[in-house]
């Protein structure tokens, strides 16, 4: 539908040690690929709020010269459905415009387009159905997207935000359906899609679109987390309360035990999110780095 995303993340697949991107015309509208794996790229991802564990993440050193667009791919490994997110950083992509939203979505205020969000408005405006609004006239404008792949047995990875599922669709060339989620915050227009890789069913592809305009809400359904406090305390506000050493600690290889201890998302935090410096990865501080890979549209102005 819309802008025909040939950039569908589902076309990205992986093998044990390498990633290959499917035929993808990244030149179109807003799809970019950002490979992780190298310190440099990990840093980039970190700026998006995600940690990339160097040992559990594998990326092809694919033709990076082709990188362009708005989707970045990362691979993390999680058996519990919790996403590893980097600590909030004042140098996140959103910069001053997004000081309060260290979030998994692309922190891009430049391409943030409130007007587009007629569809995304969580509370459906009774008078004018959003889809009718965009029906004729303007083309739907896609917000920058950030996708990554996670080895996980659960589809919907916990990321600290609350999501409401609003659709599910079978996708072509994939035995797995794609689920569509919207941030439950009525003012937040962030959406995300979750699907399993058709190539590797253990890999969950999560695509975020948009930018949160709020802090994390803690953990849904009984979850705690005074994220404000956590945030101010420089704990990862959007990180799962579960800490996965195998994922988070570069010096520690993911033990089979740690990778299989849990196969479902438990909403109840069992222990306080005592996190080490959630940014074991070097945090980039220069715009030059971003400017190198991340297009201006993905960054704050």
C-alpha closest to that of 177 among 151, 150, 205: 205
The interface region with DNA, picked from 54-62, 67-75, 129-137, 242-250 by CB under 7 A, is 129-137
Q: Does 123 help bind DNA (rule: CB under 7 A)?
A: no
Q: Does 132 help bind DNA (rule: CB under 7 A)?
A: yes
The interface region with DNA, picked from 103-111, 133-141, 272-280, 281-289 by CB under 7 A, is 133-141
Q: Does 193 help bind DNA (rule: CB under 7 A)?
A: yes
Q: Does 167 help bind DNA (rule: CB under 7 A)?
A: yes
The interface region with DNA, picked from 77-85, 128-136, 230-238, 257-265 by CB under 7 A, is 128-136
Residues 204-243 that bind DNA (CB under 7 A): 220-221
Which strands make up the sheet holding 177-183, listed edge to edge? 75-77, 145-151, 203-209, 191-196, 177-183, 163-170
> Residue from 15, 90, 184, 285 that binds DNA (CB under 7 A)?
184
Cα-Cα-Cα-Cα torsion 41, 46, 51, 55, nearest 10 degrees, comes to 20
Element (H, E) at 40: helix 39-47
In the complex, least distance from residue 171 CB atom to DNA, rounded to whole angstroms: 4
Of 99 and 128, which has the nearer Cβ to DNA?
128
In the complex, least distance from residue 135 CB atom to DNA, rounded to whole angstroms: 3
CB 170 within 8 A of CB 228: no
In the complex, least distance from residue 114 CB atom to DNA, rounded to whole angstroms: 14
Q: Give dist(CA 295, CA 267) in Å, integer.
A: 36
Tell me the CA distances in angstroms from 207 to 10, 75, 124, one per residue in order. Answer: 10, 12, 23
- Site size for DNA, by CB under 7 A? 41
Q: Does 187 help bind DNA (rule: CB under 7 A)?
A: no
Q: Give dist(CA 36, CA 205) in Å, integer.
A: 15
Of 129 and 256, which has the nearer Cβ to DNA?
129
Cα-Cα-Cα-Cα torsion 224, 226, 227, 233, nearest 10 degrees, comes to -130
The interface region with DNA, picked from 37-45, 55-63, 71-79, 180-188 by CB under 7 A, is 180-188
In the complex, least distance from residue 210 CB atom to DNA, rounded to whole angstroms: 9
Q: Does 168 help bind DNA (rule: CB under 7 A)?
A: yes
Retrieve residue 141's tokens. 């404008």
C-alpha closest to that of 17 among 80, 79, 85, 75: 75
Retrieve residue 109's tokens. 């205020």
Binding region for DNA (CB under 7 A): 1-5, 8, 118-121, 124, 129-132, 134-136, 139-140, 162-173, 178-180, 182, 184, 191, 193, 220-221
């Amino acid at each position: 539908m819309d802008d025909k995303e040939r950039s569908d993340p589902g076309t990205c697949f992986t093998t044990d040690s390498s990633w290959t991107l499917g035929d993808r015309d990244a030149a179109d509208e807003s799809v970019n690929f950002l490979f992780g794996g190298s310190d440099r790229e990990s840093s980039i991802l970190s700026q998006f709020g995600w940690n990339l564990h160097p040992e559990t993440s594998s990326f092809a050193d694919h033709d990076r010269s082709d990188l362009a667009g708005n989707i970045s791919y990362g691979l993390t490994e999680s058996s519990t459905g919790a996403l590893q997110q980097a600590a909030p950083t004042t140098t996140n992509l959103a910069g001053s415009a997004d000081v309060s939203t260290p979030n998994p979505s692309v922190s891009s205020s430049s391409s943030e387009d409130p007007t587009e969000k007629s569809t995304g408005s969580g509370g459906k405006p009774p008078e004018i159905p959003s889809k009718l609004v965009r029906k004729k006239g303007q083309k739907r404008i896609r917000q920058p997207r950030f996708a990554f792949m996670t080895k996980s047995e659960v589809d919907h990875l916990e990321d600290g935000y609350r999501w409401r599922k609003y659709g599910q669709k079978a996708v072509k060339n994939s035995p797995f359906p794609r689920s569509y989620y919207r941030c439950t915050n009525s003012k937040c227009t962030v959406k995300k899609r979750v699907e399993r890789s058709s190539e590797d069913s253990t890999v969950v592809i999560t695509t975020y679109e948009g930018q949160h305009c709020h802090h994390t809400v803690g953990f849904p359904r009984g979850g705690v987390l005074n994220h404000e406090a956590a945030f101010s305390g420089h704990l990862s506000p959007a990180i799962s309360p579960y800490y996965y050493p195998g994922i988070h600690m570069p010096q520690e290889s993911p033990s089979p035990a740690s990778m299989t201890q849990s196969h479902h998302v438990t909403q109840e935090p069992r222990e306080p999110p005592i996190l080490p410096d959630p940014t074991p990865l070097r945090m980039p501080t220069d715009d030059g780095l971003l400017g190198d890979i991340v297009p201006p549209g993905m960054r704050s102005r």
